[in-house]
Amino acid sequence: MMYRLARPLLFQLDAEDAHNLALRAATQLASWPTLARWLHRFVSPTVSPVTVAGLAFPNRVGLAAGMDKNAVAPLAWWAFGFGFVELGTVTPLPQDGNAPPRMFRRPADRAILNRMGFNNHGADAVALRLSQFTRPPFPIGISVGKNKDTPNDRAETDYAIAAAKLAPYADFISINVSSPNTVGLRELQTQEAMARLVLAVRAVIGAKPLFVKVAPELTGHDLHAVLDACLANGAAGIIATNTRAITDPNGKPCGESGHPLRELALERVAEIRERIGTNAALIGCGGIDDIASARNMIAAGADLIQIYTGLVYEGPFLAAKLARAVGATPKF
């Protein structure tokens, strides 16, 4: 109820400005560990932990990549009841991303459009920040990507550099090859390219689990080829899905997230689970903003789920609410 009272005021702000305001608030909370621990005790769901890809998760609900790109507030996400967080996407070198305006709300559809373009402080800065923070007691994943000026034929070098610098502070690493906001990035979603990328990152992160995040439009033979290449070369699992490629109000390419992605993400998770069987982990993401959508994603085959856009429309306590609802749900 508190968030519903505050939401109209936040929605008067530009979408990216509101995002940054929320992130600053989370950063302040993370700077007060005593307050974070108190909030965690107050809101955290009491559910049985789950083990996925060899990692123990306090609950099944995680924060998707994109919210905390620069690892400024991991402790805050734990305080709000998340069972894990995926930070980033982080590139080897810092970059500004695409020119604003680059984030838009579509309230009638409970959707967000973004064309951020991997804006982040770079792997060195993020690694330094993580080395100085109090580590929250839940798994931390870090999404890595390539800098926009790196050609695709040298992409594995960028992914390996970022992963090598960040892996000491991560419980798992994820490879982002599916954002529609970096020109040519999705062209890496081929059997040959994914084999090279997974092998390159696998070589620098040791035994830590490696996930690959795929696009919702990837399906059929193309999807199966990518899945087979990832798992054959050392990936522990898949994250499905990233945003859907459309155009923003100014006619520029962007990614759509939120409620409109719900059915497509469910279909892709079910297709992936059928292909990979029980031999790999699967994280479901896309359009999850209530108990029904969370339970449906688990039923479709996801071991874990992630939310982001749902927070914009439902507020920061959504994770704890969903975690309680799916806590006792069988894997699949």
The residues annotated with a catalytic role in the active site are: 179
Residue carrying structure tokens 């459309």: 246
Instruction: Give the closest residue to 113 by CA, choosing from 263, 243, 285, 266.
Output: 243
Instruction: Look at residue 257 and give its three-state secondary structure.
Output: strand
The CA distance from 145 to 176, in Å, is 6
Q: For the chain, how long is the longest CA-to-CA vector? A: 51
Cβ within 8 Å of residue 209, ≥6 positions away = 53, 54, 55, 171, 172, 173, 236, 237, 281
What the block records as the tokens of 80 is 């709000």
How many helices and strands (H and E) does the chain possess? 12, 14
Instruction: Give the closest residue to 162 by CA, choosing from 103, 94, 239, 80.
Output: 94
Instruction: Look at residue 139 and give its three-state secondary structure.
Output: coil
**Cβ atoms 213, 178 nearer than 8 A:** yes
**Cβ atoms 173, 144 nearer than 8 A:** yes
- Sign of dihedral through CA atoms 273, 245, 69, 143? positive
**Cβ atoms 235, 262 nearer than 8 A:** no
